[in-house]
Structure 1
Amino acid sequence: MRSLFTAHSDFSDITPTQYDAAYAWIREMGLLGNVKSRGPVNCRVFESAMAQSGVPWFRDADLLIRGPDELPEDALRAAETLGLTPEEAYGQVSTAWGKVDTEERSRIGSAGELALLELLSESAKGRVEHVAAWSDGYGYDIFVDAHQHSAHLEVKSTVRTGRLTVYISRNEYETMLRDPAWELVTVRLTPELKIRAVAAVPRDWISDHVPSDRTVRGRWQSCRLDVPPEVPVPGIPSIAPMLTQTAPEVLRVMPVS
């Protein structure tokens, strides 16, 4: 327990209740299971505090905080208490956000794929397969085939309503370039992970906004695209000919007024 506090602390001025509360917090943060980590204790405590704080700015820290001088006051106070410089605190905020974002994207992504897969299985004619369950090398997640039509859907999911950020791999992008059936589909989920809206991002927009390989010695492998709200097209155009008459409106392409 003591190893999780700074070495000069002797705990002589805290009550048993305060000690128990601190111990419970450290256990909840998962720090007790990592007491032998080589990382500085104050950095580990600060990173855990930021990741679990629930402060509204943390969710969009990648956009709101681009350097130490943009850290919010609450983060600076916590850093000062733990003996961290603003530069060290910024590094820990970036690390904590990256870990949380990766875990959240994985959770939301899986939920969105499975929710869309179930909806398509109920609403599309022909065969619907979750190819991402077999391999991540296809360059898309869901295959739909009926008669003379087929669709290869790369699914990106979010629970946010005011921001759409998607990550696309080089393999997904190159699959788009050579595969006319490929389509990037965004799925907005409710907090309960139910489908709220489905839309498609036009491939021309994607091509215009991915990075460029500037030399033969440099090559991008993945990129983040922040998609403006007016870009996605409601519904999934590529599966329109394959929908049953009872398919829900969320899957249908809405006519332009």
Structure 2
Amino acid sequence: MSSLPGNGTLRAALRWLVQLRTADVARARALFIHLPRFADLTPFQYAEGLMWLRRQGLVTEFGRLVPGEHLEAMQGLASEADPQVAEAVSALSGKVSVSHRQQIGAAGEEGLVALLRGATRAQVCHVAAVTDSYGYDIQARLPEGETAHIEVKATTNPHSLIVHLTRHEFETMRRDPYWVMAAVLVGPGAVVSAVATVSRRWLASSVPQDRDSSGRWESVRLCVPREALSVGIAQLGLRADGAWGLKLVTPEVAGVAGSNGSPFVSSSQLG
């Protein structure tokens, strides 16, 4: 991301981000020109603000807002400028980031359900589609009886893995021997492109400790290191070609041959 523009341009950019959530560029520009509450900035500043957003990849050439990590980067830049601008950007990026995470989370869950049904012999139930009370998202059971209660953490970032763990999910892990956290990489088109299991031991050692009975943590953000990941979901025989970010394959125990005669098949072949 390039250097931070002046506060006027940055305020204009923020207003574009707000308006483009519900309006197109032409309508937003008309609002900026004709409504008195927007008259503190010039048409040139609004034009500069939109150009800057496009250069940063925050707005497409068609005038559509691009949610996700770019807004978090803008929040970091804005924090170096006018405090009012930083506060407004923080509020906006928080709202958009939550919505973005929900969309990616749903895509990860649905994609993993489809993958498990197509690539393993497990009976699969998407319990989170009915209720969030279980403390996990997917229940899968092989004919031999091997069971996994899978909490899905989806991301679009193939380079680093950050997960948000609730206290309810953590307590479920502590009492449920079948509980598994599966990290799911969601690629273009909401296609699942990798799956890895996060170590239960690492999770247990990484959450905060309650200091006394007057307070307790309810949610925690964790940056998962590579050494805490193992490819696929071992309980179900779901394997991958390698480490985080590589293609998914079906388990050897499923006996499914890929197009090249290998007992493995990539996620693209499952689609």
Structure 2 length-normalised TM: 0.64
Q: Which runs of 5+ in 2 are unaligned?
A: 1-15, 32-36, 41-45, 59-67, 239-250, 257-262
In structure 2, C-alpha distance between the alignment counterparts of 1:212 and 1:232, rounded to whole Å: 23
Are the equivalent residues in 1 in contact too, given 2:153–2:181 (CA < 8 A)?
Answer: yes
Large movers: runs of 4+ above 4 Å: 24-27, 60-68, 247-251
In structure 2, C-alpha distance between the alignment counterparts of 1:209 and 1:62, rounded to whole Å: 24
Letter in 2 for 1:140: Y
Q: CA deviation at 1:60?
A: 6.0
Q: CA deviation at 1:28?
A: 3.4
Q: Which residue of 2 aligns with 1:112?
A: 108
Q: How does 1:192-203 map to 2 (within 5 A)?
A: 192-203=189-200
Q: Give the number of equivalent residue pairs.
A: 204
When the two chains are superposed, the root-mean-square deviation of aligned CA atoms in Å is: 3.6
Q: Which residue of 1 aligns with 2:221?
A: 224
Q: Which residue of 2 aligns with 1:30?
A: 22
Are the equivalent residues in 2 in contact too, given 1:201–1:233 (CA < 8 A)?
Answer: yes
Q: Which residue of 1 aligns with 2:182?
A: 185
Closer, same or farther: CA 202–178 of 1 in aligned 2, 3 Å? same
1:102 aligns to 2:98 (yes or no): yes
SS in 1 for 2:89: helix
1:59 to 64, 69, 72: 69
Q: Which residue of 2 aligns with 1:93?
A: 89
Letter in 1 for 2:233: I
Q: CA deviation at 1:97?
A: 1.6
How big is each residue's C-alpha offset from its partner over 1:224-245, in whole Å with a ceiling of 9 and x where there is no partner?
1111234311111221298512
Q: Which residue of 2 aligns with 1:142?
A: 138
Q: Which residue of 1 aligns with 2:159?
A: 162
Closer, same or farther: CA 217–175 of 1 in aligned 2, 3 Å? same
Letter in 1 for 2:53: S
SS in 1 for 2:211: coil
Q: Which runs of 5+ in 1 are unaligned?
A: 1-23, 77-85, 252-257
In structure 2, C-alpha distance between the alignment counterparts of 1:166 and 1:194, rounded to whole Å: 19
In structure 2, C-alpha distance between the alignment counterparts of 1:171 and 1:28, rounded to whole Å: 36
Q: CA deviation at 1:98?
A: 0.9
Letter in 2 for 1:212: Q
Are the equivalent residues in 1 in contact too, given 2:75–2:89 (CA < 8 A)?
Answer: no
Are the equivalent residues in 2 in contact too, given 1:188–1:197 (CA < 8 A)?
Answer: yes
In structure 1, C-alpha distance between the alignment counterparts of 2:71 and 2:18, rounded to whole Å: 24
In structure 2, C-alpha distance between the alignment counterparts of 1:201 and 1:161, rounded to whole Å: 15
How big is each residue's C-alpha offset from its partner over 1:154-176, in whole Å with a ceiling of 9 and x where there is no partner?
00111112221111111111000
How big is each residue's C-alpha offset from its partner over 1:170-198, in whole Å with a ceiling of 9 and x where there is no partner?
11110000111001001112122112111
Q: Which residue of 1 aligns with 2:63?
A: none
Closer, same or farther: CA 159–90 of 1 in aligned 2, 3 Å? same
Closer, same or farther: CA 145–26 of 1 in aligned 2, 3 Å? closer
In structure 2, C-alpha distance between the alignment counterparts of 1:149 and 1:116, rounded to whole Å: 18
Closer, same or farther: CA 205–111 of 1 in aligned 2, 3 Å? same
Letter in 2 for 1:129: C
Structure 1 length-normalised TM: 0.67
Q: Which residue of 1 aligns with 2:126?
A: 130
Closer, same or farther: CA 100–145 of 1 in aligned 2, 3 Å? same
In structure 1, C-alpha distance between the alignment counterparts of 2:195 and 2:86, rounded to whole Å: 36
Letter in 1 for 2:108: G
Q: CA deviation at 1:219?
A: 1.2
In structure 2, C-alpha distance between the alignment counterparts of 1:56 and 1:208, rounded to whole Å: 38
SS in 2 for 1:53: helix
SS in 2 for 1:211: coil
In structure 1, C-alpha distance between the alignment counterparts of 2:113 and 2:93, rounded to whole Å: 29
Letter in 2 for 1:187: V
Are the equivalent residues in 2 in contact too, given 1:188–1:195 (CA < 8 A)?
Answer: yes
In structure 2, C-alpha distance between the alignment counterparts of 1:89 and 1:155, rounded to whole Å: 35
In structure 2, C-alpha distance between the alignment counterparts of 1:60 and 1:25, rounded to whole Å: 12
